[in-house]
Chains A and B, each alone.
Chain A
């Protein structure tokens, strides 16, 4: 089966999705870095929440709102010659929201009114779904500017990564709701509705008319941007429908992440979106599937003293114990590796491209480490 390389060559956007904690950010960076070496062009990795160590691996003291180019020396130091350039940007939710308001607001006055509204400030910083939405927006904006040949996106950590995909349509639904229209209707005609009365009563007693009025005002301001939101949402959907974009589903080979990754694949298929590749991350070494070694380990575990007898005393302390631990450890890891094989078969069937990245004892600390992971992405099966 092909690796991820072909996908990177034929798409303009690769969205890295998967359950939380499976290494999406590192893989997104590795994929982008390797693309620069293998294919070239101008490649951007858009990340949401990088660890400090990843930033320093990319030669940056820290990520900011601005896009930064990774210095060429870093590639040279890692022993490769880049064919293009690697850029990194981090999503700043608040700044992205402000930019969004700026783009969609019909006039300066509305923009200022929205930015000053306490409800807006609350939405931009704490409203959970808003992170997903602006990530999608920012991605579209970067794509539209056309500065990059490939954009690799690391999606926000969501319990259900699918939230990210649904964000634009949910936002449109939200602003297009008939209730919103009612809320923002002038006061007098509002009282006449049949269905609205109980709501008004309930809402009034619950949160007071002042807050209700605040909400209404906020939505009234936002409604002036409705057209903009709809257009954008359609445009974003179009990008994903046109096969300019591909999804890379990442998972570790543990039961729960795999179940979540399968759910994600189902949802992508249901939306007729292309699962470009599935990547299994942190996979145990192949030596654990060696049957001859397994037999040796079983014999060793059963009778370590026979080896001790053969070796005699060579000044080796705790020899029997070490031999037993050596065998037990292998067999323990082997049973986990066997489970991994079963899980990987389930996942590999889901996409045209498949790659496995081996487990590392410790995190990635430099570009060479990222490129090494990227090399595995290219290999396939």
Chain B
């Protein structure tokens, strides 16, 4: 959304097809054919069957409507059976659109952490498995696109929590070891705000106990214990999040930019939430 706002013709791709991108823009679920969900912003849901059809059509000049019948089941089986076919159809479709320069920017919402490196490494793996043919040729140029740092970059989205940071560190390492794609940046999402400054914290401690607390409770006519507990929770979460962020920072190469996106509170869902997050990125990246 931020890229589109800044004037880039942008394509957003949902790899799993289950991410419900449409909801993020307040529209119907998106399909394989890109639809414009915001000015200059198009969204599509990946579907390997459509991608295979499109590939066969362009590559082998098969008519768009093949008398499928049993062939449909056969193609489906091939996509399931030959390891990596599904993955290369996914990566291949995106790479093809990228090479055609139909878009200024393509943003891909990738598959789950455990699978994403397999996706990105598949052009390399294909080259090892298939000695000849158009797939080999395609693997080669796709690999070149992925390898080109001015063209492709991976962005890892993390959260200031132990498990997420652990996974991010592992993913960054395996991206480097097993794929050709450069880690362009890491976004730390849902960063909690600092509740009290140092000076304020002293005041908070004084408030949370003894005579001061009873005066406050008398004045507002109710218990403030739960308020104090909630504040402590917020302070502790912020502290532990900051420690995890620091751990991540020191584990990443110094050249990798770490962007912070603050927690969005309240009732923001769908388009409103997307818009808020785009604002936050805009603030960070200036």
Chain A residues within 8 Å of B, Cβ to Cβ: 20-21, 23, 25, 49, 51-53, 118-119, 122-123, 126-128, 131, 156-160, 174, 177, 179-180, 195-196, 198-199, 202-203, 205-208, 210-211, 214-215, 219, 255, 284-285, 287-288, 290, 292-293, 295-297, 299-300, 306-307, 310-311, 314, 316-319, 321-323, 325-327, 329-330, 332-336, 359, 361-363
Interface stretch of the complex, out of B1-9, B66-74, B277-285: B66-74
Q: How far is the CB of A293 from chain B (nearest CB, A)?
A: 4
What is the bound-complex CA distance between A335 and B263, given in angstroms?
Answer: 14
Q: Check B230–A128 contact: CB distance below 8 A.
A: no
- The 8 Å CB contact of A322, one of B73, B111, B207, is B207
Per-position contact with A for B211-230: 1 when CB-CB < 8 Å, else 0?
A: 01001111111111111111
Given contacts A52-B166, A326-B227, contact A211 B133 (CB under 8 A): yes
- Residue of B at shortest CB range from A333? B230
Q: Check B200–A321 contact: CB distance below 8 A.
A: yes
Given contacts A119-B129, A179-B73, contact A335 B266 (CB under 8 A): yes
What is the bound-complex CA distance between A53 and B240, given in angstroms?
Answer: 15
| Main SS class of interface, A | helix
Report the contact-size class of chain B (Cβ under 8 Å from the partner). Answer: 35 or more
B118 within 8 A of A: yes
Question: Which interface residue of B59, B70, B81, B215 has the most chain A CB atoms within 10 A?
Answer: B81
17 new A-B contacts at CB < 8 Å, known A126-B118, A326-B227: A21-B164, A122-B129, A126-B125, A157-B114, A177-B77, A255-B269, A290-B226, A293-B222, A295-B221, A296-B221, A296-B223, A300-B227, A317-B200, A318-B200, A329-B195, A332-B265, A335-B267
B26 within 8 A of A: no
B102 within 8 A of A: no
Provide a sorted-by-A list of 22 A–B residue pairs whose CB atoms are within 8 angstroms: A53-B166, A127-B84, A128-B115, A159-B16, A160-B18, A198-B66, A198-B74, A205-B60, A206-B134, A208-B132, A211-B130, A211-B131, A287-B225, A292-B222, A293-B227, A297-B227, A310-B215, A314-B206, A316-B206, A322-B203, A326-B204, A326-B227
Q: Which residues of B contact A311 (CB under 8 A)?
A: 212, 215-216
Q: Check B80–A363 contact: CB distance below 8 A.
A: no
Interface stretch of the complex, out of B34-42, B140-148, B231-239, B249-257: B231-239
Per-position contact with A for B91-124: 1 when CB-CB < 8 Å, else 0?
A: 0000000000000000000011111001001100
Q: Check B229–A287 contact: CB distance below 8 A.
A: yes
| Main SS class of interface, B | helix
Q: Which residues of A contact B223 (CB under 8 A)?
A: 290, 292-293, 296
What is the bound-complex CA distance between A55 and B17, given in angstroms?
Answer: 34
Q: Check B215–A296 contact: CB distance below 8 A.
A: no
Q: Check B130–A208 contact: CB distance below 8 A.
A: yes
- Those of B154-200 within 8 Å (CB) of chain A: 159, 161-164, 166, 195-197, 199-200
Nearest first, the 9 A-B pairs at minimum CB distance are A296-B222, A287-B226, A361-B236, A195-B70, A363-B162, A362-B240, A293-B226, A208-B133, A199-B74
- Residue of B at shortest CB range from A170? B80
Q: Which residues of B contact A177 (CB under 8 A)?
A: 77
What is the bound-complex CA distance between A195 and B18, given in angstroms?
Answer: 33
Q: How far is the CB of B111 from chain A (nearest CB, A)?
A: 7
Q: How far is the CB of B93 from chain A (nearest CB, A)?
A: 15
What is the bound-complex CA distance between A23 and B56, given in angstroms?
Answer: 42
What is the bound-complex CA distance between A323 and B266, given in angstroms?
Answer: 21
Q: Which residues of B contact A199 (CB under 8 A)?
A: 71, 74-75, 78
- The 8 Å CB contact of B112, one of A157, A297, A322, A363, is A157
B202 within 8 A of A: yes
Q: Which residues of B contact A323 (CB under 8 A)?
A: 207, 216
What is the bound-complex CA distance between A159 and B19, given in angstroms?
Answer: 9
What is the bound-complex CA distance between A179 and B18, given in angstroms?
Answer: 29
Given contacts A195-B71, A361-B237, A361-B240, contact A327 B265 (CB under 8 A): no
Question: Which interface residue of B134, B203, B218, B265 has the most chain A CB atoms within 10 A?
Answer: B203
Q: How far is the CB of B254 from chain A (nearest CB, A)?
A: 23
Given contacts A179-B74, A202-B56, A300-B220, contact A322 B200 (CB under 8 A): yes
Q: How far is the CB of B200 from chain A (nearest CB, A)?
A: 5
- Residue of A at shortest CB range from B217? A296
Q: Which residues of B contact A179 (CB under 8 A)?
A: 73-74, 77, 81
Q: Which residues of B contact A203 (CB under 8 A)?
A: 78
Q: Which residues of B contact A219 (CB under 8 A)?
A: 81
Q: Which residues of A contact B136 (CB under 8 A)?
A: 208
- The 8 Å CB contact of B227, one of A208, A317, A330, is A330
What is the bound-complex CA distance between A205 and B136, given in angstroms?
Answer: 12
- Residue of A at shortest CB range from B267? A335
Q: Check A318–B225 contact: CB distance below 8 A.
A: no
Q: Check A123–B222 contact: CB distance below 8 A.
A: no
Q: Check A327–B269 contact: CB distance below 8 A.
A: no
What is the bound-complex CA distance between A334 and B240, given in angstroms?
Answer: 21
- Residue of A at shortest CB range from B240? A362
Q: How far is the CB of B284 from chain A (nearest CB, A)?
A: 22
What is the bound-complex CA distance between A211 and B18, given in angstroms?
Answer: 32
- Residue of A at shortest CB range from B73? A179
Per-position contact with A for B13-27: 1 when CB-CB < 8 Å, else 0?
A: 000101000000000
Per-position contact with A for B239-271: 1 when CB-CB < 8 Å, else 0?
A: 110010000000000000000000001110100
B82 within 8 A of A: yes
Question: Which interface residue of B113, B222, B236 has the most chain A CB atoms within 10 A?
Answer: B222
- The 8 Å CB contact of A295, one of B216, B222, B243, is B222
Q: Check B81–A215 contact: CB distance below 8 A.
A: yes
Q: Which residues of B contact A318 (CB under 8 A)?
A: 197, 199-200, 203
Q: Which residues of B contact A310 (CB under 8 A)?
A: 215, 218-219
What is the bound-complex CA distance between A20 and B77, given in angstroms?
Answer: 28
What is the bound-complex CA distance between A23 and B164, given in angstroms?
Answer: 10
Q: How far is the CB of A67 from chain B (nearest CB, A)?
A: 23
What is the bound-complex CA distance between A160 and B17, given in angstroms?
Answer: 11
- The 8 Å CB contact of A307, one of B130, B131, B219, is B219
Q: Which residues of B contact A297 (CB under 8 A)?
A: 220, 222, 224, 227
Q: Which residues of B contact A159 (CB under 8 A)?
A: 16, 18, 111-112
